[in-house]
Chain A
Amino acid sequence: DTEVTQTPKHLVMGMTNKKSLKCEQHMGHRAMYWYKQKAKKPPELMFVYSYEKLSINESVPSRFSPECPNSSLLNLHLHALQPEDSALYLCASSNQEGLAAFEQYFGPGTRLTVT
């Protein structure tokens, strides 16, 4: 199984809502990532979890809160978002060691619209 799954596929939320994005992989990968992708742009790294611990936070606003409940699951909790946060949110996973860390498997993404 080389699949990374993400739910929901689409999400529309108001600026006062709280919602969560979910990501799951069963490849035994110990590194998991959240990226934000705007239209016609490359993905921008947001967070990296390594062995279920947050290892990289790219100075992301606190209205985005990541969580890694176990080695297969990654969540992104959203609260009080702004319209400019509308984007495709991609989850990815990889093996942790050496070159393998750059061979990332991406999910299909959650298309988020903030109204």
Chain B
Amino acid sequence: GNSVTQMEGPVTLSEEAFLTINCTYTATGYPSLFWYVQYPGEGLQLLLKATKADDKGSNKGFEATYRKETTSFHLEKGSVQVSDSAVYFCACSSNTGKLIFGQGTTLQVKP
């Protein structure tokens, strides 16, 4: 079945630093790819998505590009803020109708 692997955290950055969180997937066919974010004490929120190769998803300054050749969907942001501190989950669709989540990466941004 499909699977998603994320870089281990926590990732600790200073405010205004550049962020990359790596995500790779294994899948049959061409899944859709997602980044979800979970702020402390909250449920998950869809941050961005991409449905086919070379698509770029973007939202709130975050971007991720669907790279079929490297089976990757890395999350990037040019300048992080303290308010971006959260847990980020990469996910992919599956033929079973389930979302397949990665293990999550905790981001801590310090002022």
Chain A residues with CB under 8 Å of chain B are 4, 40-43, 45, 48, 55-56, 90, 92, 99, 101-109
Known contacts A45-B98, A99-B51: A40-B43 contact under CB 8 Å? no
Which of A4, A102, A108 sits near B32, CB closer than 8 Å? A102
B101 proximal to A (CB < 8 A): yes
Contacts of A107 on B, CB cut-off 8 Å? 43
Inter-chain CB contacts under 8 Å: number:
50
| Bound complex: CA A38 to CA B67 (Å) | 31
A43 engages B44 (CB within 8 Å): yes
Name the prevailing secondary structure of the A interface residues: mixed
A44 CB, min distance to chain B CBs, angstroms: 9
| Stretch from B11-19, B20-28, B76-84, B102-110 contacting the other chain | B102-110
A108 engages B43 (CB within 8 Å): yes
A4, A42, A105 — most chain B CB neighbours (10 Å)? A42
B59 proximal to A (CB < 8 A): no
Contacts of B101 on A, CB cut-off 8 Å? 42-43
| Bound complex: CA A108 to CA B87 (Å) | 14
